[in-house]
A and B are shown apart, each in its own frame.
Chain A
Amino acid sequence: MSDGGAREAGGAREAGGPATAAEDDGAGRGGIRLINVTKRYPGQGTPAVDDVTMTIRSGEIVVLLGPSGSGKTTMMRLINRLIEPTSGKIIVAGQDAMGLDPTELRRHIGYVIQNAGLFPHMTVATNVGLVPQMLKWDKKRIAERVDELLELVDLDPAQYRDRYPRELSGGQQQRVGVARALGADPPAMLMDEPFGALDPITRGNLQDSLLRLQEELGKTIVFVTHDIDEALKLGDRIAILDKGSRVAQYATPQEILLNPADAYVEQFLGGGQAMRLLQFSRVADVPLQDVPRARTGDDAADVRRRIEDSEIGFAIVLDERDRPVRWAHPEDVEGVSGPIGERGMAVAPPIRARDTLQQALETLIQIEHEWVPVVGPRGVYRGTVTLGTLQNAIKDMKDRARTRRRPS
């Protein structure tokens, strides 16, 4: 996404980045496009949604974020025509939504609302199987699909299939709600403050589940919320909405934090951007320190030379599976001939690359070592961080944002 699109969003409501201007619709196979969409309610002076143009790319979670009255729910409901637009064009997965039968359209767009909206007189299985049933799937296929979906949302089918919604906790109900929305494997899903009524712990768990699910399924998701932290956590892209669904900024979370488009966005963020950057950026995203590497079998003199050649002053010793085990300082290998073996100081428990910068910071502050190794999947060494690394990373992000803000 170019910063150009994001900045223009403030004034011109062109919020899809450069792709909207091009011939290619930029939305991809499962994407959603709103083109000059307006919703005006009779008897109301100002439109609820005012000439919005926006591209939601296939496979992305786009969060519509705004205070109540910003029209974010209205905007979402236009997509599956629960609200009919007054004018404009809506394209869902390459098809003109206005040209489709609304009920048919809705069966192919998942819909999740606050408190799940499960039908209390139907079992979990019936609820989840509703859309396939409406699409006239045969019974066996529906039953299989229901079990598959329940497993997908981490509910044991055997245990939950025949329960009624009121026999489930709020979080479980919402899981079933998500399963129901995925019934006929729709390319896109609309979620209207789905986790708004849950306690913070359950909400966190469900957000994590949604991200895991999304990694697997890659749906196009439009997610409505007024919770900025939820938006930053879930959104691949966030649209911050002002009155009349004016798209104040449409950009990635990092971009929004580093480079708020206008005073409204800044006010909406309400400060604490640096902390939020730490909270929503991952260690994998920042440049790590490179430290001379050694293996337990390496010759001590050789290792000493490597240490002397670098400015770091010590090396990291990896085991046979590339997992960090020890730091080797020149004094550890002084006068030793042959392999370095078990010499050196054991490393601190490593930081994982998928940890957030905040978690990394937490570790660095609490631990007695200045240098902490970072590991990827299966504990494989990736690099090393210090407090300075993180500081530089944040500074870099800010610098980059600043240069981008200046017109080139």
Chain B
Amino acid sequence: MNFWEYLDSRRERLQFETWQHASMVFQCVLAALVLGLLIGLAVYRSGRLSAVATSTAGVIFTVPSLALLGLLITPLGLGVAPSVVALTLYSLLPIVRNTIVGLAGVDRTLVDAARGIGMTRTAILLRVELPLAWPVILTGVRVSTQLAMGIGAIAAYVSGPGLGEQIFSGLARLGGANAINMTLAGTVLIIILALLFDGCFVLIGRLTTPRGVRV
């Protein structure tokens, strides 16, 4: 069976796993975005807290994904739970870091001007700081998404959902029938998904960045 025949014969399963993968990545990055924004907003005003938040996220980042997934089996068992937790944690770093960098990078004189004309704290955050930091934050989300695509494949190690299943099964029976096809199918589909997501981000970026600050 060549690659195309394999794809054809497993169409339904592959479609399901691709959908699962995409959905997992999307939800985890979304969760990471909400968490990351909250963390970023909580700490960006203080240099020390910013450093603590960034380095903590950095430490999590250095833990090998396989090890983290393995360690999460004990408290969370197998399947969706450890996969989602691990993926969200990994996605946090770029988002937290870019949120902090983006908010800290907003010109202080603009914040001063906003206060000076009588904007409230909340209005300054929502109407000035976040919109101006948004392109940087969005870049963080984009990096997180690419990251989550790859690490998502390893979730299959703890019986997580997604295309990792193809890759792991293929590698496990290397030499057997369709082993290469399975690995290849998982890999190629993840790459296609990653490209699609990235395309979406370019579009979102264009739609959500006002003309006045577009590069």
Which A positions have Cβ atoms within 8 angstroms of B? Answer: 80, 82, 103-108, 111, 113-115, 117-123, 130-131, 134, 164-167, 180-181, 183, 190
Contact = CB atoms under 8 A, between A and B. Distances in A.
Given A121-B131, A134-B123, A113 B116 contact: yes
Instruction: Rank and list the top 10 A-B pairs by shortest CB-CB distance, nearest first.
Output: A117-B113, A164-B212, A111-B116, A107-B118, A106-B118, A121-B210, A103-B118, A121-B213, A120-B212, A121-B212
Interface in B86-120: 109-110, 112-120
Contacts of A104: 118
Contacts of B110: 117, 119-120
Contacts of A111: 113, 116-117
21 contacts: A82-B115, A82-B116, A104-B118, A105-B118, A106-B117, A114-B109, A115-B109, A117-B113, A119-B110, A119-B113, A119-B132, A120-B132, A121-B132, A121-B212, A122-B212, A130-B119, A131-B118, A164-B210, A165-B212, A167-B212, A190-B116
Contact of B120 (A82, A103, A164, A167): A103
Q: Which of B116, B211, B213 has the most CB of A within 10 A?
A: B116
Interface string B122-135: 01000110011000
A117 B116 CA distance: 10
A41 B112 CA distance: 19
Contacts of A130: 117, 119
Main secondary structure of the interface of B (DSSP, over half): helix
Contacts of A107: 117-118
A134 B113 CA distance: 14
Contacts of B213: 120-121
Contacts of A166: 212
A164 B211 contact: yes
A121 B212 CA distance: 5
Contacts of A103: 118-120
Contacts of A181: 117
Contacts of A121: 131-132, 210, 212-213
Nearest to B123: A134
